[in-house]
Structure formats: structure tokens, C-alpha cells
Amino acid sequence: MIIEYAIYFAAFCFGSSLLMNLWKIVSAEGVGDRVLALDTMVINAIALMVLFGMWKGTEIYFEAAMLIAMLGFVSTVAYARFMLRGNIIE
């Protein structure tokens, strides 16, 4: 019972974090901030998926969270590489 309320609280926190990151993506003045906000969105999405898996009591969402973690890392590195060099694969 108490776990359920804690899950609601944590989901509220990470959901409002996602909204803040979205606001930052819209309102940032530099492209570096946008990449950073996108990376943070990926991490918050992972947390939300794990919370959803705990709430539902299944384990299938952990695999999805793992995949999102890997793809998020690769995409952030690709964005940073593009900012740094102007192309991704040389």
C-alpha cells in the first residue's frame, strides 16, 4: 500500500521533470542545452518505465528500459559528435 503511494509520488516527480525538460528544449538558447535536455528526458523516461514496471508487477519493462538507455546514450553521443565535428561518421 505504502509502496503504491511512493510510486505515485515518484511518477509525479519524474513526470514533472519530463515537462521541465520539454520546456527547456523549447526555450533553450543554444543547441548544447537542447542536447542536454534531451539526454535528461531519456534518463527520466527510463525511470518512469521502471516505475511503471514496478506498479504493474511485470519485468518486461526492464528490457525496454535497457534498450532506451542504450539508444539514448548512442543518440546523445551522435548529437555531441555532430556539434563537435559537423558530421557523425567520418
Partner 1 sequence: MAEFFQYVVAASLVIAGIFGIVGSFGLIKLNDPMSRLHAPTKATTLGVGGVLIASMVHALMVEHHLSVHELLITIFLFLTAPITANFIAKAHIHRHCTAEDLPDPAPDARWAGLTEEEADTPDAQ
- Rounded to whole angstroms, the Cα distance separating 68 from 12 reads 20
83: contact with partner 1 by CB under 8 A: yes
Q: Is 62 left (phi over 0), alpha (psi -120 to 50) or beta?
A: alpha
Query: Which of 5, 41, 46, 11 has the alpha carbon at shortest distance from 23?
Result: 41
Pick the closer one to partner 1 by CB: 11 or 89.
Answer: 11
Cell of 28: 533553450
52: contact with partner 1 by CB under 8 A: no
9: contact with partner 1 by CB under 8 A: yes
Q: Which residues bind partner 1 (CB under 8 A)?
A: 2-3, 5-7, 9-14, 16-18, 20-21, 23-24, 30-33, 35-37, 39-40, 43-44, 46-47, 50-51, 53-54, 57, 59, 62-63, 65-66, 69-70, 73, 76-77, 80-81, 83-84
